Amino acid sequence: MSTVLIVGTQWGDEGKGKVVDVLTEQSDIVARYQGGNNAGHTVVINNTKYILHLIPSGALHKSKKCIIGNGVVIDPSALIEEIDELKSKGIDVSNNLYISKNAHIIMPYHVALDKASESKKGDGKIGTTGRGIGPSYSDKIARAGVRVIELINGETFKHILKNNLDKVNFLLENYYGQGKLDYIEILEKYLAYAKRIAPFVTDTVKMINDAYDKGERILLEGAQGTLLDIDHGTYPFVTSSNTISAGACTGLGLAPTKINSIIGIVKAYTTRVGSGPFPTELKDELGHQIQQKGGEFGATTGRPRRCGWLDGVALRYSATINGLTGIAITKLDILDGISPLKIAVAYKYNGSIIETFPHEIEILQDCEPVYETLEGWNDTTSGIDDYNKLPKNAQMYIKYIEKLLGTEVQIISTGQKRDQIIKLKDFLK
C-alpha cells in the first residue's frame, strides 16, 4: 500500500510531468488534484513529445487509471481537445479516465474576465495564462460556480448560466468596455460538451478511497508550484489554487493520513513565467544561456521563462510547508559546463540578513541574495542513470541541496526521456 505525492517546489515547470510518467509504471492510479489547463506537463517518449494540460501524465501508460479530482477546474473544450489529440497519437483514454462530479467548470466568461482583467491592469498584470483559472476558482469560492454535475444536469446549468451571464455581461460591457457574450451560443456549446464528458464522470472520492483500501498504488500529480500557491506563494503573483501538498487532500477527498511520501520536484536552477518577484533571477547572458539550453519556454503559452540560480531560501520554505519526505532534482544536465554555480542561502535587505522566506513583495523584489558558490563540472551528465557515474562536483551540488533542505534526494533526472533518470529509492511497492 503506497500513496506518493509529486509537488512542484518552485514557480512551476520543474519537470513534474517527467517524474510522474516515470513513477506511473509502478502505480495503479494517477490523480490530478488542482489547477486546470494553465498547467503544461511535458513527457517525451521515443522522441515524441506529449504536453498534458488536464489529463494526468500517467495517461501515457496505457490502462493506468487516471483521475481528474474535484479540486481541478475543467475547461471542457480544452479537455475534449486533449482527449482527441491523445487519441490521434495512439493513446485512447476512453476506458481509464475518471472525472470528479464536483470539479468546477471553466466557462467562456471566466476566460473573458481573466483576459479583460489582465489587460486593464497594464504593467501591473499578473501574467496569467489567460485560461480563466482565477475567475473560475473565484466563482467556486463565491458559491456561484458550475460543477460537472450541474453541467450534466442541463436544467440546473441553464439557471446558473443565465444568472451568471447577466452579471458578467454587465461587467464586461460597463467596466471593461467589451462586447457581451451570447447565452444561447454558450448553452448549446456546453450542452454538447456535457454529452462528450458524461461517460467519464464518476464519484472519484469513493473511487480513490476504495482503491486505497484495496492496497492499490496511488500517485498524486500536483500542478504549478509551491511559490504560486494562493495562500503561501508570492501573492498576488500566484495562481488561484492550493498548489502545495495539502491541496491534494482537499482536491481529491483523500485524508492526509493516506499519503505516505511527498516528493518535491526541484529544478537544478529556478524559472518563473509571468510577472512577480524572483530574487535569484539572472537578467544577463548566463540567464539567457540557461533559458536556451534548458528550452525554457512555456509548455502552455510558449512564453519565455525567466531563469536564475537555485534559491535555497525559497526551497527550505517549500520543504517545510509541503512536508517533503524526499526530493527529485531535475534538469541537472542543463548545468553541465557552467562554473561556478551559485545557490542563494539567505537574502540581504536594508542591511539585515533574512533566512526565512519573506511574504512582503517589496522585500522579495528588492532584496539581494547571499550566495554560496560551488564549483561546476565540465563532463556531461546527460542521460546518466547511475549516481556513481556523475561527476564529483555534480554529486557535491546534489549533496549541498540535500543538506540545505534537510531532505533526502531520491531521484535525479538527467534528460527529457524516460530512461534518463537515477532512482535512488523505490517508492510504490
40/308 with CB nearer Mg ion: 40
Q: Which of 32, 64, 110, 131 binds ligand IMO (CB under 6 A)?
A: 131
Q: Provide the minimum distance between the beta carbon of 19 and ligand GDP in the complex, in angstroms, as a whole number.
A: 8
The C-alpha cell that represents 138 in the structure block: 473565484
Q: Which three cell numbers stand for residue 187?
A: 448553452
Q: Which does 295 bind (CB under 5 to 8 A by kind): ligand IMO, Mg ion, ligand GDP, none?
A: ligand GDP
User: Cell digits for 207?
Assistant: 473511487
Place of cell 450541474: 150
Task: Kindly state the smallest distance separating residue 40's Cβ from Mg ion, in Å.
Answer: 4
Catalytic residue (one of 13, 21, 28, 311): 13
Alpha helices in 294-373 (DSSP H): 312-322, 361-366
Q: Computed from CA positions of residues 152, 154, 160, 166, in that sequence, does the dihedral angle turn out positive or negative?
A: positive
Query: Is 41 one of the annotated active-site residues of the chain?
Result: yes
Residue 44 binds: one of Mg ion, ligand IMO, ligand GDP, none (C-beta under 5 to 8 A by kind): ligand GDP
Closest CA to 138 of 117, 158, 123, 157: 117
Identify the residue whose cell numbers are 506537463: 41
When asked if residue 277 is in the footprint of Mg ion (CB under 5 A), the reply is: no
Residues, the chain:
429
User: How many CB atoms lie under 10 A from the CB of residue 424?
Assistant: 13
Out of 21, 28, 41, 53, pick the active-site residue.
41
For the chain, the helix, strand and coil percentages under 3-state DSSP, each to the nearest 5: 40, 20, 40
- Of 1-60, binders to Mg ion (CB under 5 A) are 13, 40
- Cβ(374)–Cβ(393) below 8 Å: yes
Q: Which stretch binds ligand GDP (CB under 6 A): 170-178, 363-371, 396-404, 411-419?
A: 411-419
CA 10 to chain centre: 10
Choose the one of Mg ion, ligand IMO, ligand GDP, none that binds residue 31, judging by a C-beta under 5 to 8 angstroms depending on kind: none
Contact between 133 and ligand IMO by CB under 6 A: the answer reads yes
Among positions 238-297, residues that touch ligand GDP (CB under 6 A) are 295
- Closest CB 29 distance from Mg ion, rounded Å: 22
**Cα–Cα distance list, 64 to 58, 179, 254, 322 (Å):** 7, 44, 19, 26
Does the annotation mark 288 as catalytic?
no
Q: How far is the CB of 394 from ligand IMO (least distance, A)?
A: 25
DSSP 60: G
| Residue 17 in the binding site for ligand GDP (CB under 6 A) | yes
- Site membership for ligand IMO, residue 39 (CB under 6 A): yes
Minimal distance, residue 273 CB to Mg ion, in Å: 8
Q: Report the C-alpha gap between 289 and 312 in whole angstroms.
A: 22
Cα dihedral across residues 231, 235, 241, 246: positive or negative: negative
- The reply on whether position 112 binds ligand IMO by CB under 6 A is no
Interaction of residue 251 with ligand IMO, rule CB under 6 A: no
Q: What cell does 188 get?
A: 448549446
Nearer CB in complex with ligand IMO: 73/428: 73
For ligand IMO (CB under 6 A), the number of binding residues is 24
User: Is 30 among the residues that bind ligand IMO (CB under 6 A)?
Assistant: no
What is the Cα–Cα distance from 96 to 111, expressed in whole angstroms?
Answer: 29
Among 2, 5, 13, 314, binds ligand IMO (CB under 6 A): 13
Give CA angle at 426 (425, 429), nearest 5°.
155
Residue 100 touching ligand IMO (CB under 6 A):
no
Q: Contact with ligand IMO (CB under 6 A): which of 129, 245, 261, 413?
A: 129
Task: Enumerate binding residues for ligand GDP (CB under 6 A).
Answer: 8, 12-18, 40-42, 44, 295, 299, 330-331, 333-334, 413-416
